[in-house]
Amino acid sequence: MLTAVLSLSGAIVYGAADFLGGLAARRLGALLATAVASVAGLVAMLAALPVLGGTWTSADLGWGALSGVIGAVAIALLYACLAIGPMSILSPLTALMSAITPMLWGTLVGAERFGPLGVWGIGVALVAVVLVGFVPERGAVRPSPRGLLLAIGSGLAIGGYYIAISHTADASGVVPLVANRVVSATLLFAAFGVVAVSAALRTRSAVLAPSPARSGPAPDDMTSADHVTTTDASAPSTTGATRGTALRAAVALALACGVVDATANVLLLLGIRAGDLAVAAVLGAMYPAGTILLAAIVLRERIAPVQWAGLALALAAAGMLALA
């Protein structure tokens, strides 16, 4: 029962982190928002370390670092597949693969066994994962082979994260998550630096490239420039202040996302350690539930009937698995 409660709670909290991260990504860009959130998560983990405790061993640090690499790959593939679309197909496919991968690992490699109620609970949970993650789109097109491969790859990577972090010892506490955050933050900021430098080089090349000679009378151009200078003298300061406020708000959202995400990871880790990996992974894949509920409450977005059905099945599956 404890595994079901912790895992489902972690999924909902993780969905809340996705909601905050999505708002931050609209303002900062997905890569920078994720990198800032990783640093905030690392700080939160370090702050919680004296309270939650944990022994430092090379094995646990290694598994934590590996989970950080896998997690960074999962995020990159997830953003890539959602950018291609359609989200209505690729998003639930990613969530389904992220549930099936550790479930198969736990049952085939870990020799986890379930009674009839547990088997039915996992089946209902897998259906709920697909329905909760379904994002209705008007006129959605058939996904491309590349989009399908990216979605499957992202789901496999998320499942790989569960498998890697499940190999850590209970006595390690949140130490593996600290290693995870150090590695993922380093990789994400490195990726952001590469993208930023590449963009700067492209901009510089465009500026230095020869342009065709201008035609037309110069006086009109001068008049237009004089108009901007004289009438909009106060615009830069106003615009700068507005941009500064928006930037601070975006960074605050990213920082909050990192702290909430770190909390979700702790809950999911405790859920894995409290019971079966298969149960924790399947219920952990319900993370879109937190996102759509917050979007409905804060942004007044409509929840589709199929998603309501998924939420009801998720609660039913959690109850079945808690009793199994």
Could you give the CA distance from residue 5 to residue 280 in angstroms, rounded to a whole number? 9
pLDDT, residue 57, reads: 94
How many domains does the structure of the chain reveal? 1
List phi, psi (to 5°) of 88. -60, -20
| 62 in any annotated domain | yes
Question: Quick one: which of 251, 286, 317, 323 has its CA closest to 32?
Answer: 251
| 245 in any annotated domain | no
| 70 in any annotated domain | yes
| 232 in any annotated domain | no
pLDDT, residue 226, reads: 40
Could you give the CA distance from residue 84 to residue 146 in angstroms, rounded to a whole number? 9
pLDDT, residue 289, reads: 82
Could you give the CA distance from residue 203 to residue 218 in angstroms, rounded to a whole number? 27
pLDDT, residue 250, reads: 87
pLDDT, residue 94, reads: 85
Contacts of 23 (CB under 8 A, 6+ apart): 253
| 24 in any annotated domain | yes
Contacts of 136 (CB under 8 A, 6+ apart): 88, 304, 306
| 307 in any annotated domain | yes
| 237 in any annotated domain | no
Q: Specify the pTM.
A: 0.78
Q: pLDDT per position in the chain (324 positions), as tens?
A: 788 889 989 989 988 888 888 888 888 887 888 888 889 999 998 988 888 878 899 999 999 999 999 988 888 888 788 777 677 677 788 888 888 888 888 887 877 777 788 888 888 888 888 888 777 766 656 778 888 898 899 889 999 999 999 999 999 989 999 999 999 889 888 888 888 888 888 887 777 766 555 444 444 443 444 443 444 444 445 576 777 788 888 899 999 999 999 999 999 999 999 888 888 888 888 888 888 888 888 878 788 888 888 888 888 887 887 776
Could you give the CA distance from residue 276 to residue 24 in angstroms, rounded to a whole number? 34
Domain that holds residue 54: 2-203+257-323
| 243 in any annotated domain | no
Residue 178 token pair: 């600290």
Q: Is 165 in contact with 70 (CB distance < 8 Å)? A: no
DSSP 8-state secondary structure symbol assigned to residue 139: T
Could you give the CA distance from residue 201 to residue 190 in angstroms, rounded to a whole number? 17
